[in-house]
Structure 1
Amino acid sequence: MITQQMKHTIIFLLIIFSTLKVEAKKIVSPIEIISGMADIIVIGEIDIVKDNSYTFKISETIKGQVYKTISVRKFKEWTCDTRFGKVKKGQRLCLFLKKGSTNWTIINGSTGELLILNNYITLGGDEEYIHVDYKFTPYRLSVQEFKNGIREFSKCYRFIGEYDFMDKKAHFEQICDDKQISKFKSINKFSAWLYKRMTKYPVIKA
């Protein structure tokens, strides 16, 4: 007999397998995965550009410990994962980061380095599309709506494991009570969208 937990695990594995292609291609981690994995999520701008890294001046911390400036290692670009443009001083970004030995590391390449333009963010990756007027268009939303949704999401969920088909124990932990979950999903359209996506994954209460 297949339990609810087994159903969630099967669905989770199918999501991961769906990102794999015969040819070499980046496995895109959806926004909920990189949010759940991140040590810090920050908004700010590039201050100093170096060969393999840049100094990032933080204006707002959405998740994790607060810093004024950090050193961020540039992700290695390749055919299936290129940056939106050359790294330049003054670029305003939202970064999803893991702590490295010397620098902070961007999670999942371009997926974890989002450009902010005219106070809007466009999500990247194959999963971050919405159906509008019979066309699939990138999910573009205001920075305010985005950061409110991600902030509350990060209070409720933490991703455990590795996002690949070999890690069958990978799952989300619910780190808040059910009342907080209700608050999270009702904040705005983006948080409701995130909550709906979470029904695909195995979620265990911490």
Structure 2
Amino acid sequence: MTEKCIILVLNNIDMRLLVCLLLFLVSTLNYGFKKNVTPYSIVISKAVLIVDGTISKVSKNEYQFTITEFVKGKSNSKINVVIWEEWLCDPRIKELKKGQRLILFLEKLPNGIFYPVNESTGELYVDDNSLPNIFLPKDFSNPTVLKKGIAMFLETYTFYGNFNDRFYQNINFVRNKSIFEVYKMAKNNTAFKFLVDNAEYYKPSEVLQFFY
């Protein structure tokens, strides 16, 4: 075999190794940077404020938000919300701008400013009375159904446990209605049904059993 042929074979081997290495790195990076999605039953429970409204002003690190409806909690009608930092696996679906309607699930930082729970999970865009985020559960069909479902969920379930438990092993919900009542209610609201299935995964206690 001539020297030129040997070099050509070695180059082909190197190319195959390089391709294999790249494929391995891509799969590893995709796994390493996958967004940790928090279930909405926990997002709703963790949020101190769930509101519907519009952006009134955008600055470098935060935006001012004018609330038109409180779904959970109370605050001033105008609040400041931190602009969370986008990354590879959690980009914004639209630009934040004045007049944009949002439904927000917010926790409160020590400095008094609000922050969306789990970044994009807690910041839902609303356009033409629909929720355009394709990653949302299909059961969140429109803002009216979603807000009603959240209200029904908050009236039915109470969360106990550690919100910072990444693997959700030490959490529990308490249900104040029988499972039969809950499933009957779920027939009237797709968002509530989704949240019920979410919460029932954690095998909630039933408060009614304490009275027997």
Using structure 2 for the length normalisation, give the TM-score.
0.72
Which residue of 67, 74, 77 maps to 1:58? 67
CA apart distance, 1:123: 5.5
Q: How many residues align?
A: 174
Q: Which structure: larger Rg?
A: 2
- Residue number in structure 2 paired with 1:133: none
Distance, in Å, in 1 between the alignment partners of 2:188 and 2:94 is 33
Distance, in Å, in 2 between the alignment partners of 1:190 and 1:39 is 20
Matched, 1:156 2:156: yes
Over the residues paired in the alignment, what is the CA RMSD in angstroms? 2.4
- Residue number in structure 2 paired with 1:118: 128
Matched, 1:94 2:103: yes
Residue pairs, 1:117-156, within 5 angstroms = 117-122=127-132, 125=135, 128-129=136-137, 138-139=138-139, 141-156=141-156
- Residue number in structure 2 paired with 1:200: 201
Which fold has the larger relative contact order, with Cα–Cα distance below 8 Å and residues 6 or more apart in sequence?
1
Instruction: Return closer, same or farther for 1:177/1:123 CA change in 2, 3 Å cut-off.
Output: farther
Matched, 1:74 2:83: yes
Distance, in Å, in 2 between the alignment partners of 1:154 and 1:123 is 23
Of Structure 1 and Structure 2, the greater strand share is in 1
Q: Contact between 1:42 and 1:95, CA under 8 Å: does it hold in 2?
A: yes
- The runs of at least 4 consecutive aligned structure 1 residues that moved more than 3 Å come to 122-125, 176-184
Which residues of structure 2 form unaligned runs of 5+?
1-29, 208-212
Residue pairs, 1:11-30, within 5 angstroms = 22-30=31-39
Distance, in Å, in 2 between the alignment partners of 1:111 and 1:57 is 20
- Residue number in structure 2 paired with 1:47: 56
Q: Contact between 1:116 and 1:143, CA under 8 Å: does it hold in 2?
A: yes
Q: Contact between 2:82 and 2:115, CA under 8 Å: does it hold in 1?
A: yes
2:31 counterpart SS class: coil
Distance, in Å, in 1 between the alignment partners of 2:139 and 2:183 is 23
CA apart distance, 1:143: 1.4
Instruction: Return closer, same or farther for 1:172/1:122 CA change in 2, 3 Å cut-off.
Output: farther
Which residues of structure 1 form unaligned runs of 5+?
1-20, 130-137
Distance, in Å, in 1 between the alignment partners of 2:162 and 2:188 is 28
Identical-residue share of aligned pairs (%): 31
Instruction: Return closer, same or farther for 1:153/1:68 CA change in 2, 3 Å cut-off.
Output: same
Of Structure 1 and Structure 2, the greater helix share is in 2
Q: Contact between 2:162 and 2:171, CA under 8 Å: does it hold in 1?
A: yes
Q: Contact between 1:54 and 1:73, CA under 8 Å: does it hold in 2?
A: yes
Using structure 1 for the length normalisation, give the TM-score.
0.74
Which residue of 100, 118, 135 maps to 1:108? 118
